[in-house]
């Protein structure tokens, strides 16, 4: 064994890869169903004669529901872990899909979106904790595997919408609720492992909750991470919610072709998520945040001015770079506030949903007044807020 491999073996413990794969696949199923909502906006717009403002309200209902509940769920489960809440959250998503497929009014669509948001709020904090427990110390790798499942799910959602729902009609959304039932079964298995892990560690000293520096400095660092998360997710929500409308209007594409373009963007984001965590384990979470957030700025500024070819290229680059930051943001926040995995997972995932929803709703209203291309021009300046990365403190890496 080489000196490098010996050092790595000493730094990391045993990683439960089967549980990481299961929780990642569950995240994929969860986010497939979530991304269906934005992928189905062209259908809903036609079937219910919706305005862009009403479409933004759908996104707001889904994401703010998740945003309001996730930090609360995280703080509660930090004190009283709930392994069996995972399949319950997936069951809520199942009911939401049934409503979206059978809705006869806009109000029912809002209820379906809210149920999917509730499912997300219950799922993410405890799923983040499971990923960390199964990581064996490879926290960046675990977060990447966990989050890439969600990103792949987000990328697959538009494909399912393009090739199943669009040809068959809105009622086909109900068929896809079968995926939620598969997720319930997978999460029952994960919940069993989680419960067994609790029994095995019962009686051991609780992990240290000591902050690495003063509370004020820790809160300031968390505020910077929250702002970075908000910037990233308002931008990503603006892109994903209205991307199909943008390429249809700007380049004259069909709805199905536009869904494939959205898949290209979201697929690049999935690859970026895979890369971000392991690079953070090797070079540090702070380095990944710096590189990912700042390097995307010039490409985002160019996107509204690009022709069709360069829109494809820039969409891939932006998705790749921006998405690689979030696993590192999660790991960095957990280093700042150790022993508070549920709270951090709930806050950052929840805040991600909430800010994305508010941004999507505001951008929808703006698109109604000024046009979709003007919205994309405005969005191109959002990544400049990533310059606040300069205020992130250095946190000693664990050895």
Q: Any idea which architecture 16-198+210-391 has in CATH? A: Up-down Bundle (1.20)
Nearest of 219, 312, 214, 224 to residue 263 by alpha carbon = 312
Condensed to tens digits (0 to 9), the pLDDT of residues 148-197 reads 787 777 778 777 877 888 787 788 888 888 888 999 999 998 888 888 87
The Cα 298–Cα 227 span in angstroms is: 19
pLDDT at 110: 92
pLDDT at 53: 81
Nearest of 15, 10, 38, 30 to residue 70 by alpha carbon = 30
Based on DSSP, count helices (H) and strands (E) in the chain, helices before strands.
Answer: 18, 0
pLDDT at 320: 86
**Contact call for residues 126 and 2 (beta carbons, < 8 A):** no
Query: Residue 95 — pLDDT band, cuts 50, 70, 90?
Result: very high
What is the domain partition of the chain in residue ranges? Answer: 16-198+210-391
Q: Per-residue DSSP letters for 85-145?
A: HHHHHHHHHHHHHHHHHH--SHHHHHHHHHHHHHHHHHHHHHHHHHHHHTSTT-HHHHHHH
Q: Per-residue DSSP letters for 250-313?
A: HH---HHHHHHHHHHHHHHHHHHHHHHHHHHHHH-HHHHHHHHHHHTHHHHHHGGG--HHHHHH
């Amino acid at each position: 064994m080489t000196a490098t491999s010996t050092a790595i073996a000493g730094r990391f413990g045993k990683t439960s890869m089967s549980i990481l794969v299961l929780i990642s696949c569950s995240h994929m199923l969860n986010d497939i169903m979530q991304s269906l909502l934005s992928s189905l906006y062209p259908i809903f717009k036609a079937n219910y004669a919706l305005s862009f403002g009403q479409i933004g309200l759908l996104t707001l209902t889904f994401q703010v529901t998740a945003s309001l509940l996730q930090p609360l769920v995280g703080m509660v489960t930090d004190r009283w872990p709930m392994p069996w809440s995972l399949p319950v959250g997936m069951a809520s998503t199942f009911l939401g899909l049934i409503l979206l497929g059978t809705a006869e009014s806009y109000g029912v669509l809002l209820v379906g979106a809210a149920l999917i948001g509730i499912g997300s709020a219950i799922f993410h904090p405890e799923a983040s904790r499971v990923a960390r427990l199964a990581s064996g110390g490879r926290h960046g790798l675990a977060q990447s595997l966990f989050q890439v499942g969600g990103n792949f799910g987000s990328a697959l959602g538009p494909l399912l919408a393009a090739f199943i729902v669009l040809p068959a009609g809105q009622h086909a959304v109900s068929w896809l609720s079968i995926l939620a039932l598969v997720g319930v079964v997978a999460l029952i298995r994960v919940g069993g492992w989680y419960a067994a892990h609790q029994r095995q560690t019962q009686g051991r000293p609780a992990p240290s909750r000591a902050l690495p520096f003063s509370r004020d400095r820790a809160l300031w660092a968390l505020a910077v991470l929250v702002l970075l998360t908000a910037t990233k997710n308002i931008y990503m929500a603006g892109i994903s919610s209205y991307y199909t409308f943008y390429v249809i209007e700007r380049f004259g594409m069909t709805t199905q072709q536009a869904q494939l373009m959205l898949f290209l963007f979201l697929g690049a984001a999935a690859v970026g998520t895979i890369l971000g965590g392991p690079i953070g384990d090797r070079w540090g979470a702070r380095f990944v945040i710096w590189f990912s957030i700042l390097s995307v700025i010039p490409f985002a500024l160019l996107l509204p001015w690009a022709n069709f070819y360069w829109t494809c290229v820039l969409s891939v680059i932006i998705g790749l770079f921006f998405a690689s930051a979030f696993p590192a943001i999660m790991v960095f926040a957990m280093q700042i506030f150790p022993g508070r995995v549920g709270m951090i997972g709930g806050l950052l995932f929840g805040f991600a949903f909430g800010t994305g929803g508010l941004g999507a709703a505001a951008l929808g209203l703006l698109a109604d007044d000024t046009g979709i291309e003007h919205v994309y021009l405005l969005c191109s300046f959002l990544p400049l807020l990533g310059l606040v990365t300069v205020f992130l403190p250095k946190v000693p890496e664990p050895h």
